[in-house]
Structure 1
């Protein structure tokens, strides 16, 4: 009898060891596949690739999306944003001696990233300005904006000006209108961002406070012909909001800026110079002649999502792109995504539809999700659910993190709250395509039930970290930060990507 008990315990220990090994292997596979799917998405919107696909150069002629431009040693290039150095290098390499001058304003550290990745920079004549640490305008990006303004103002009708624009461009092109100072403008942006203002709201304010935004740069460039090549980092690709629309006429309602300030109860915290400018109706908003400007969107979130879906197929997942317009509070969107996917796996159409409606995912996408979930249930087909967009963070605590890490941490907590489908492993990755999530060195983070279990084992209270907006610290402390995704500056920016992988386990529930 004694021997029998010992044998049973030995078998149970061995079974547990095998089960733990199987669980660990599944977790590692999910993480590696999610990383590779994300990398495929980012690579599809690398600036060099997009320029090559969008700009056709033959002798003295450039063709872009069906429109033709003639060049004759008359090209000037300016750019601002997280992706524009790669764009400028590709354009310079293509046009060669036709380029007379070029300068770009990029985030701190981008130059070194390009030196590491490419030899193109060594032979380039592009003047590079680095600044806007943590996506806040500073004296370095102010200098860049001043130099860019001086260059475009000097051009004539014989010149062809390429303006390269990508996400982060607003912070990298700060030239405040008088009497507003740079420090006062910094305060305005920090106050609004701290309240969770959307990018559209932030850029509505920026346009009215800046010399170059809201069409200002294009006005200074007249009479030169302007071609702007744009990587969109805003839902719906609205030209007048990407980098605050420096080449697009400002059509905002004159009362919009002050309504935003009042919405967030910031009237008495704003610098007086900012309030004065936001209340005035500037003369340039009445100007309608932008006939010298040609704007082309050459990259956006949809391109990245399609690439992610293609890579998922290579890993034998059934992919579904739910939306490229996810928005809302990161701490609320994360849990809703977990709930929605779980209810779809259970075949609960009504609940799935209700949850999807709360985070503004359309009926057609919900139908596709439910249909794809049936494949998982009936045929054992693994799923890859992909979303794009950009959430926001309302700052309540004093921690450090970004919207992707906050979304992931909130999603991880939700796994503890729901009744999960059996024999399923799920992992969520939320990350920024620019490689930088908030004021951190991470692009984003993973969410999964095993992450919460690991936190409990070392007495990390995930809920307290979330309440303090301290998602980065949580992930950094937990298992040496292995659930953070760190890519460094990617050289591009088309908002965020969320990847949810669902894999059958043929046995124990790994949720």
Structure 2
């Protein structure tokens, strides 16, 4: 198989996985019974606008209103539902404005009313209302520090819940006595609903002390106001019915779609897991070892094979100026370094939302000659990896995967093709 054919197959598999998680087909079968009263739609996340559009189209005969917030550039028309855009991964003033608009939308409801909460990855930053005594600036400082610390998404969102006036189920409490049904697209390892967008409508079992412990573990300075906020007792928890928290798209579902298409191309897929975490460069070394074992020993499966995995790795920034890149391109450059030009091994990795970190690419593709072509272009793969400049490396080779916003988000999708 040549590079062109391998690259085509990997792109198709990646795009099929992403397409399986789109809101349009996923929303209608997940909707609850129509309410006797009004339906107020709220939501936050990179997929929230597309989810809102699907609700508006599915329920033309329901008294529908509401507001959702999505990332800049991810808005689509949603009929009767207002769409607001804000910043990600660090909140901005519009994140706070959106949160206040959403709180206002759920006020004064009755038992006959329904609140549909459309939640997807990115919602933590996009809908930011600081806890009493804190400011948006306080939250921004903590978020930036967490993003650079190597903390997992679950750890970051636990901290965010306890610095928020609406996360950790508090938004659901504000909507009482209306019924709250959450339709969720998961982007977190393990699919814990309380972790997705920091769980604004889902019961939270964590404590402020756990949040403080995470900040201490990663040696993140804690201001007096943050410390005081985390020393307060947790508010009463809102209990949510399991039937009212509905996962409509998950990383596992996306990997299943990828595996299905792989079989159609004559490949034997193996899903290694949908919740893999750790440093991106360590994951690259691990996957290179797996690929080499398949090629040399036919273990854990014989080729032609496709190793699939999902989850969210981390990039811990070291001292000094970092280059451009996200966790997927860093994983791929580490993989290429570890493979050292191994024949008949290709790989793709990308963020299902179309944006790897803060760049304009979803990810990239590694070919057997990636390092050779890099040297021909005057690049040092090791220097690029050490400088966290993986985006620039793959950009120079024209090997980035650019999809634009996909309007969904089921975490990262990684695939290694071995013959």
Smaller-chain TM-score range? Answer: over 0.9
Could you report, residue by residue, the CA deviation over 1:292-332 in whole angstroms, capped at 9, with x for unpaired residues? 98211111011100110111122121222121121100011
| Structure-2 residue corresponding to 1:170 | 124
2:347 touches 2:416 (CA, 8 Å); kept in 1? yes
Q: Tell whether 2:319 aligns with 1:400.
A: no
What's the CA shift for 1:399? Answer: 1.2
Shift of 1:468: 1.1
Counterparts of 1:263-278 in structure 2 under 5 Å?
A: 263-266=217-220, 269-278=221-230
CA distance in 2 between partners of 1:443 and 1:126 (Å): 28
Give 1:323's aligned residue.
273
Where does residue 95 of structure 1 map in the other structure? Answer: 59
Alignment of 1:39-54 (within 5 A): 39-54=15-30
Cα distance in 2 for partners of 1:165, 1:42 equals 17
RMSD: 1.8
Counterpart for residue 13 of structure 2: 37
Range 182-191 or range 316-325, more displaced? 316-325
1:280 aligns with 2:235: no
Q: Is the 8 A contact 2:202 2:238 kept in 1?
A: no
Shift of 1:107: 0.4
CA distance in 2 between partners of 1:89 and 1:38 (Å): 24
d(CA) in 2 for partners of 1:270, 1:328: 25
Give, in whole Å, the separation in 1 of the partners of 2:226 and 2:332.
36
Task: From 70, 84, 101, give the equivalent of 1:129.
Answer: 84
Whose radius of gyration is greater, 1 or 2? 1
Q: Name the CA distance, whole Å, in 1 between partners of 2:47 and 2:242.
A: 24
The one of 275, 283, 297 equivalent to 1:333 is 283
Aligned residue number for residue 468 of structure 1: 387
Q: Can you list the C-alpha shifts for 1:191-210, whole angstroms capped at 9, x where unaligned?
A: 01101111111011101100
Structure 2 partner of 1:493: 409
Superposition deviation, residue 71 in structure 1: 2.2
Q: Is the 8 A contact 1:228 1:293 kept in 2?
A: no
Cα gap change, 1:384 to 1:290, in 2 (>3 Å): closer
**Contact 1:105–1:130 (Cα < 8 Å) also in 2:** yes
CA contact (8 A) 1:430 1:445 kept: yes
Corresponding residue number in structure 1 for 2:140: 186
Match of 1:152 in 2: 106
Q: CA deviation at 1:289?
A: 4.3
Gaps of at least 5 residues in structure 2 are: none
Instruction: Give the Cα separation in 2 of the matches to 1:449 and 1:287.
Output: 53
Correspondence for 1:508: none
Partner of 1:295: 245
Alpha-carbon separation, structure 2, partners of 1:26 and 1:287: 57
User: SS at the partner of 1:346?
Assistant: helix
Q: Which has the larger share of helix?
A: 1
C-alpha displacement of 1:130? 0.5
- Highest relative contact order (Cα 8 Å, sep 6+), 1 or 2? 2
Q: Could you list the runs of 4 or more consecutive aligned residues of structure 1 that deviate by over 6 angstroms after TM superposition? A: none
Name the SS of the counterpart of 1:170 in structure 2: helix
CA distance in 1 between counterparts of 2:387 and 2:132 reads 37
Q: Please state how far the C-alpha of 1:264 moved relative to its aligned partner.
A: 1.0
CA deviations 1:24-55 (Å, max 9, x no partner) are: x7011111110000010011010111113433
Q: Cα offset for 1:70?
A: 4.0
Distance in 1 (CA, whole Å) between partners of 2:225 and 2:346 is 48
